[in-house]
Structure 1
Amino acid sequence: MTDAASPTPDRHPLMDRALVEEATRKSGLIWVRGPGIPARALWHVWHEGAACVVGDGPDEQPLPGLADGVAAEVTVRSKDKGGRLVAWAATVVELAPGSAAWEAVVAELKGKRLNAPDGEAMTDRWRRECRVVRLEPTGALSPLPEGSLAEPPQPSPATTREPVPAGLPRLLAKRRRKA
């Protein structure tokens, strides 16, 4: 059986475009690789034919290597199984803050942003401190690799929680019995 991204003579460009759009729209997370930059997981929204992301500001995801006009590779994972579905080439387009296109994309992103530290004021913060970029498909699909592409995690200021203290489960169980 041939996977969706492998080249076959019976593939049609419109089918490829539909595959990219449907897979990317349904996935909450995409992996984006810029020139000379390892792939990074980014949350996004699909808006008017492109995956749109916000970042490079405080409390937002980093977007290293995603400059205006640069080529990038986007890998889309399955939301339910987590495996790779399709990989596609994209051109990065940075939107000017306050432009009509920026406002439309930010309205979509705002609805998908979870746990924003500043609530309704986040769009003002994005205008001042962040970048909003569109990853526009070029139409080229990349073949999916045969093996794993597992790599060590990128450095991050985020930390993993410490193990739960040994006595905590007993303490919580006592509270439940009293209630």
Structure 2
Amino acid sequence: MSSGVLEEAIKKASIAWVAVDGGPAYGLWCMPVESSLAVVSGPGEQFAPGLAQASRAEVRLRGDHGGLIVLAEAVVTRVLPGSPEWDEIAPQLATKRLNASGTADDLVTRWVESGCALVRLTPADGAATGNPDLPSESAAEPPRDTPARVETRRPFRLHRVRKR
């Protein structure tokens, strides 16, 4: 596969599907940083089990048409608070965070205090797959169980509603 396709997919990425240790892939919002992706996860942020402790992960990126165009193995590097890399990436990533309460500086401070993990996903050399080597079958899966799903009661009606 051409590395140009991978580089272009990374530049345009705002979401990536990331799987760790053969587990399920999670859709994570991300930000391109040079030739890699920056992702934050942890308390109060997106759920990415095992990503902070992993050394490698599988990354799937979509194209302009919304379909899978690149499947790559990436090296996971944790960016530690206080490092020059953190000071460069974390504020940029905080400004890209949608629906965050407070300023970008407040968000970065919250990430540090709550122990969120900022990781950098850098594609491994020669470990990317593109067309026509991508799997032809769908990777769609049924929705996973989640505590966010709540059974709702029927709505309360003050007056009887007549059937027509």
**Which TM-score applies when normalising by structure 2?**
0.80
Q: Structure 1 69/40 Cα, relative in aligned 2: closer, same or farther at 3 Å?
A: closer
1:28 to 11, 14, 20: 14
Determine whether 1:127 maps to 2:117: no
2:52 and 2:117 in contact (8 A); partners too:
no
Aligned to 2:24: 38
Determine whether 1:98 maps to 2:82: yes
2:13 and 2:31 in contact (8 A); partners too:
no
Partners of 1:84 and 1:39 lie apart in 2 by 13
Aligned to 2:123: 137
1:75 and 1:84 in contact (8 A); partners too:
yes
Deviation at 1:37, TM superposition (A): 1.8
Aligned to 1:117: 101
Q: Structure 1 141/119 Cα, relative in aligned 2: closer, same or farther at 3 Å?
A: same
Partners of 1:75 and 1:161 lie apart in 2 by 33
Determine whether 1:75 maps to 2:60: yes
Deviation at 1:157, TM superposition (A): 3.8
Determine whether 1:64 maps to 2:49: yes
Question: Higher strand fraction: Structure 1 or Structure 2?
Answer: 2
Aligned to 1:49: 35
* Long gaps (5+) in structure 2: 156-164
* Long gaps (5+) in structure 1: 6-14, 166-179
Deviation at 1:103, TM superposition (A): 1.5
**2:119 partner amino acid:** V
1:98 and 1:127 in contact (8 A); partners too:
no
Partners of 1:125 and 1:31 lie apart in 2 by 25
Partners of 1:149 and 1:63 lie apart in 2 by 19
Question: Higher helix fraction: Structure 1 or Structure 2?
Answer: 1
Partners of 1:65 and 1:29 lie apart in 2 by 18
Deviation at 1:161, TM superposition (A): 10
What is the number of equivalent residue pairs in this alignment? Answer: 151
The two structures, once aligned, show a CA RMSD in angstroms of: 2.6
Q: Percent identical across equivalent pairs?
A: 39
